Amino acid sequence: MSSPGAAALRRNGLGWYLYGVIAASEAPVHLGARGAVDPVHEVELVTEGPLAGVASRVSLQEFDEETLPDRLGDASWLEQKIRAHEQVLEGLLDEVSVVPCRFCTVYTSEAELRRFLSERGEALGAALDRVQGQVEVGVKAFIDRDRFAAGGAVRNDAIRELESRASAAEGGRAYLERRRLDQLIRSELERFTDEAAAEIHSRLLAVTDDGLLLPLQTREVSGRDHEMFFNGAYLVNADQSAFKETLAVLAGDYRETGVDLEATGPWPPYNFVPAELGAS
């Protein structure tokens, strides 16, 4: 959310929208062509000592804290602003390391923005050092229950035996055997996904600078038909070679068990910088 107070934001005029912070010594030569959250104004650098804020001018009335909740409920407005915010940051990744700021971080004046860069300079510098040459990559794992069950029938004696009995039985007996089979598969699936998630995370941590587990997403959110059982974010060297190689090996190792791995990114390292650096 916006960092200044609500009263200040109600004033007419222009403020500064802060996308992220970079090292002044690594600043790109040209920024103006990057689309800003307000396309009327170009993306600029506000340099303060060794740091530079990647920012653009915005209407303080549009980002007033009292009216902002209503705007956040406007799907069209929100989509346009989020897309612009992300595109500015993602456009920097090929050129420079960046500490990303939270969506809708707004300062009422250049002086307030410079104060943030100055007063939080040490923490911002440490955050930049941490993400130097790094990007964030997301990894999700999904399980296809039918493919898992088919593979489990080969690997697990109990599943194989129940599968055979359920196929041979008739009537009520067949129903009971099928229920027992479903319960066994569900139990085996839970055990397997717990172990697989731990192994995937461990093997990816071995080739990354850092990583963390994120909340699982429902099918509605993920847009996938199959259940998600793993969701992680990793701080990865920008060339991603070792990471991609390990991910490919993991995908091959787990493919026959019904597991599909999905990588997303590269993203600005949102999950690997202190959240409080997004506002003063």
Q: Print pLDDT tens along the chain (280 aa).
A: 444 444 444 455 899 999 999 999 988 766 655 678 888 898 999 999 999 999 999 988 888 777 778 888 888 888 889 999 999 998 888 889 999 998 889 999 999 999 999 999 999 999 999 999 999 999 999 999 888 877 654 456 666 555 555 555 555 566 676 676 677 777 778 888 999 999 999 999 999 999 999 999 988 888 888 999 999 999 999 889 999 999 999 999 998 888 999 999 899 999 998 876 654 4
Residues 55 and 114 in one domain: yes
Query: To which residue do tokens 């099928």 refer?
Result: 178
Residues 212 and 87 in one domain: no
Cis-peptide, bond into residue 266, ω within 30° of zero: yes
Residues 25 and 59 in one domain: yes
Q: What is the pLDDT of residue 69?
A: 80
**Which of 91, 107, 132 is a domain's end point?**
132
Whether residue 177 lies inside any domain: the answer is no
- Residue closest to 31 by CA, chosen among 95, 111, 100: 95
Q: What is the pLDDT of residue 135?
A: 93
How many whole angstroms separate alpha carbon 201 and alpha carbon 211? 8
How many whole angstroms separate alpha carbon 96 and alpha carbon 84? 18
Q: How many domains does the chain have?
A: 2
Residues 72 and 141 in one domain: no
Residues 116 and 94 in one domain: yes
Residues 121 and 197 in one domain: no
Residues 265 and 140 in one domain: yes
DSSP lists the bridge partners of residue 261 as: 141
**Which of 132, 166, 200 is a domain's end point?**
132
What predicted TM-score, i.e. pTM, was given to this entire model? 0.78
Whether residue 280 lies inside any domain: the answer is no
- Residue closest to 258 by CA, chosen among 229, 233, 234: 229
Whether residue 110 lies inside any domain: the answer is yes
Residue 167, C-beta contacts closer than 8 angstroms, at least 6 positions apart? none
Query: Which 3 state secondary structure label does DSSP give 12?
Result: coil
- Residue closest to 264 by CA, chosen among 145, 144, 141: 141
Q: What is the pLDDT of residue 169?
A: 59
- Write down the H helix ranges in 75-132: 75-92, 110-119, 121-131
Q: What is the pLDDT of residue 172?
A: 59
Residues 107 and 119 in one domain: yes
**Which of 97, 132, 167 is a domain's end point?**
132
Residues 124 and 140 in one domain: no
Q: What is the pLDDT of residue 277?
A: 65
- Residue closest to 137 by CA, chosen among 268, 276, 277, 37: 268
Residues 116 and 199 in one domain: no
Contact criterion met (CB below 8 Å) for 236 and 243: yes
Residue 276, C-beta contacts closer than 8 angstroms, at least 6 positions apart? none
Give the pair of three-digit tokens for residue 244.
């991609």
Whether residue 184 lies inside any domain: the answer is no
Contact criterion met (CB below 8 Å) for 229 and 257: no
Whether residue 198 lies inside any domain: the answer is yes
How many whole angstroms separate alpha carbon 16 and alpha carbon 58? 6
The C-alpha R_g of the chain, in whole angstroms, comes to: 25
How many whole angstroms separate alpha carbon 212 and alpha carbon 43? 32
Cis-peptide, bond into residue 215, ω within 30° of zero: no
Residues 124 and 205 in one domain: no
Range of the domain at 46: 6-132
Query: Which 3 state secondary structure label does DSSP give 57?
Result: strand
Q: What is the pLDDT of residue 7?
A: 47
What does each C-alpha distance from 175 to 156, 182, 193, 214, 275 come to in angstroms?
A: 21, 11, 27, 39, 53
How many whole angstroms separate alpha carbon 75 and alpha carbon 94? 29
CATH number of 206's domain: 3.30.70.2690
Query: Which 3 state secondary structure label does DSSP give 267?
Result: strand
Query: Which 3 state secondary structure label does DSSP give 194?
Result: helix
Residues 115 and 208 in one domain: no
How many whole angstroms separate alpha carbon 92 and alpha carbon 82? 16
